[in-house]
Structure 1
Amino acid sequence: MSSVSLGIHGVDLIPQGTAYGLLIGLGVLFCGVILVAIKVQRAYLSEDSATSEMFMVANRSVGTGLTASAVFSSWMWINETVLSAAMCYRYGLAVPLWWGSGLCFQIALMAALGVMAKIRVPYAHTSLEIIKMRYGTVGHLVFIVLNLTNNVFGCASMILVGSQLVFGVSGMHFVAATILIPLGVVLYTAVGGLKATFLTDYLHTAVALILIIFFTLSVLTHDAIGGLGGLYDKVVATASENYISGNYEGSLLTMKSKEAIIWGLILKFGNLALVVMDTAFWQKSFASEVNSTVPAYNLAAVAVFGIPWGLGTVIGLAARALHQTPIFPTFPADITQAEVEAGLVMPYVVKALIGDSGIIAFFVLLFMALTSTVSSSMIAVSSILSFDIYKTYFNPKATDKKLLRASHITVVFHAIFITGISIALNYGGANMTWIGYFRPILSCPGIIPLGLTLFWDGQTKLAAILSPVLGFFTGLSIWLATSKSLYGEVNMQTTGEGLPALYGAIGSFFSPALYSVLISLYKPYKFDWREFLRIELADEAQIHASDTSTVDESKGEPGSQTPKSDTTDTDPERTAAQEKSVAVSTGPPTSPTLLSLDDIRHPFDEQTLKELHRWSKIAWVIFVVLVLVTFVLWPMPLYRDYIFTKSFFSGWTTVAIIWQFFAFFAVVVYPLYDGRFEIAKGAVGIWNSAKELAAKKRS
Structure 2
Amino acid sequence: MSNAVDTTKLALIPQGAAYGLLIGLSVLFCGVILIAVKIQKAYLAEDSGKSEMFMVANRSVGKGLCASAVFSSWMWINETVLCAAMTYRYGLAVPLWWGSGLCFQIALMAALGVMAKIRVPYAHTSLEVVRMRYGKIGHLVFIVLNLVNNVFGCASMIMTGSQLIHGVSGMHYVAATILVPIGVVLYTAVGGLKATFLTDFLHTAIALILIIYFTIAILTNSAIGGLGGLWEKVMAAAGDNLIPGNYQGSLLTFKSKEAIIWGLILKFGNLALVVMDTAFWQKSFATEVKATVPGYNIAALAVFGIPWGLGTVIGLATRAIHDTPIFPTYPGVLTATEVSSGMVMPYTIKALIGDKGIVGFFILLFMALTSTVSSSMIAVSSILSYDIYKTYFNPKVTDKQLVRVSHLTVVIHGVFITGISIALNYGGANMTWIGYLRPIISCPGIIPMILTLFWSRQTRLAAIVAPVLGFFTGLTVWLTTTHSMYGHINITTTTNNYPALYAAIASFFSPAIYSVVLSLYKPYKFDWRIFLRIELSDQAEIASSDASTLDASEKDEGSGLKSITGSVKHVSNSLPESISSDLERVERPSEKEHTTAVVRKSVDEISLNDIQHPFDEATLKELYRWLKIAWYMFAAIVLITFVAWPLPLYRDYIFTKSFFAGWVVVAIFWQFAAFGAVVIFPLYDGWRDIETGARGIWKTSKKYLGGGKQN
TM-score (norm 1): 0.96
Alignment partner, residue 611 of structure 1: 622
The letter for the 1-side match of 2:629 is: I
User: Which residue, 608, 626, 631 being the options, matches 1:597?
Assistant: 608
CA distance in 2, matches of 1:508, 1:447: 10
Superposed displacement of residue 477, structure 1: 1.4
User: Which residue, 610, 617, 632 being the options, matches 2:643?
Assistant: 632
Superposed displacement of residue 561, structure 1: 12
The aligned runs of 1:636-647 (5 Å cut-off) are: 636-647=647-658
Alignment partner, residue 434 of structure 1: 433
Superposed displacement of residue 553, structure 1: 3.4
CA distance in 1, matches of 2:209, 2:665: 17
SS in 2 for 1:305: helix
CA distance in 2, matches of 1:418, 1:464: 28
Alignment partner, residue 552 of structure 1: 551
Superposed displacement of residue 538, structure 1: 6.5
Superposed displacement of residue 578, structure 1: 9.0
User: Contact 2:145–2:276 (CA<8 Å) still a contact in 1?
Assistant: yes
User: Contact 2:483–2:489 (CA<8 Å) still a contact in 1?
Assistant: yes
Superposed displacement of residue 431, structure 1: 1.2
SS in 2 for 1:343: coil
Alignment partner, residue 94 of structure 1: 93
CA distance in 2, matches of 1:571, 1:406: 33
Alignment partner, residue 634 of structure 2: 623
CA distance in 2, matches of 1:177, 1:695: 46
Call closer, same or farther: CA 1:79–1:599 in 2, change over 3 Å: same
Call closer, same or farther: CA 1:524–1:347 in 2, change over 3 Å: same
Call closer, same or farther: CA 1:576–1:204 in 2, change over 3 Å: farther
Call closer, same or farther: CA 1:18–1:564 in 2, change over 3 Å: farther
Call closer, same or farther: CA 1:538–1:355 in 2, change over 3 Å: farther
The letter for the 1-side match of 2:67 is: A
CA-to-aligned-CA distance 1:120-174 (integer Å, 9 cap, x gap): 0001000000000000000000000000000011000000010000000100011
User: Contact 1:51–1:404 (CA<8 Å) still a contact in 2?
Assistant: yes
CA distance in 2, matches of 1:528, 1:189: 37
Alignment partner, residue 591 of structure 2: none
The letter for the 2-side match of 1:212 is: I
Call closer, same or farther: CA 1:686–1:437 in 2, change over 3 Å: same
SS in 1 for 2:253: coil
CA distance in 2, matches of 1:163, 1:579: 54
CA-to-aligned-CA distance 1:28-81 (integer Å, 9 cap, x gap): 000000100000000000000000000000000000000000000000000010
Call closer, same or farther: CA 1:693–1:556 in 2, change over 3 Å: farther
CA distance in 1, matches of 2:150, 2:561: 35
User: Contact 1:399–1:543 (CA<8 Å) still a contact in 2?
Assistant: no
The aligned runs of 1:502-513 (5 Å cut-off) are: 502-513=501-512
Q: Is 1:63 matched up with 2:74?
A: no
SS in 1 for 2:80: helix
Alignment partner, residue 209 of structure 2: 210
Superposed displacement of residue 435, structure 1: 1.2
CA-to-aligned-CA distance 1:206-258 (integer Å, 9 cap, x gap): 00000000000000111111110111011001111111111111100001111
CA-to-aligned-CA distance 1:535-556 (integer Å, 9 cap, x gap): 1277287268438713333455
The aligned runs of 1:19-418 (5 Å cut-off) are: 19-418=18-417
Superposed displacement of residue 491, structure 1: 2.5
CA distance in 2, matches of 1:7, 1:387: 41
User: Contact 1:538–1:580 (CA<8 Å) still a contact in 2?
Assistant: no
The letter for the 1-side match of 2:669 is: I
Call closer, same or farther: CA 1:170–1:249 in 2, change over 3 Å: same
> How many pairs align?
691
Superposed displacement of residue 509, structure 1: 0.3
Call closer, same or farther: CA 1:85–1:435 in 2, change over 3 Å: same
CA distance in 2, matches of 1:434, 1:11: 25
User: Contact 1:324–1:332 (CA<8 Å) still a contact in 2?
Assistant: yes
User: Contact 1:8–1:342 (CA<8 Å) still a contact in 2?
Assistant: no
Call closer, same or farther: CA 1:577–1:696 in 2, change over 3 Å: farther
Call closer, same or farther: CA 1:578–1:246 in 2, change over 3 Å: farther
User: Contact 1:46–1:564 (CA<8 Å) still a contact in 2?
Assistant: no
User: Contact 2:82–2:431 (CA<8 Å) still a contact in 1?
Assistant: no
CA-to-aligned-CA distance 1:251-272 (integer Å, 9 cap, x gap): 0000111111110000000000
User: Contact 1:235–1:317 (CA<8 Å) still a contact in 2?
Assistant: yes
Alignment partner, residue 565 of structure 2: 570
User: Contact 1:76–1:304 (CA<8 Å) still a contact in 2?
Assistant: yes
CA distance in 1, matches of 2:375, 2:644: 34
Superposed displacement of residue 483, structure 1: 1.3
SS in 1 for 2:274: helix
SS in 2 for 1:108: helix
The letter for the 1-side match of 2:278 is: T
Call closer, same or farther: CA 1:170–1:562 in 2, change over 3 Å: farther
CA distance in 2, matches of 1:257, 1:350: 26
SS in 1 for 2:239: coil
The letter for the 2-side match of 1:195 is: K
Call closer, same or farther: CA 1:578–1:371 in 2, change over 3 Å: farther
Alignment partner, residue 669 of structure 1: 680
TM-score (norm 2): 0.94
User: Contact 2:105–2:270 (CA<8 Å) still a contact in 1?
Assistant: yes
Q: Is 1:686 matched up with 2:697?
A: yes
User: Contact 1:554–1:586 (CA<8 Å) still a contact in 2?
Assistant: no
CA distance in 2, matches of 1:201, 1:541: 34
Superposed displacement of residue 195, structure 1: 0.2
CA distance in 1, matches of 2:558, 2:350: 54
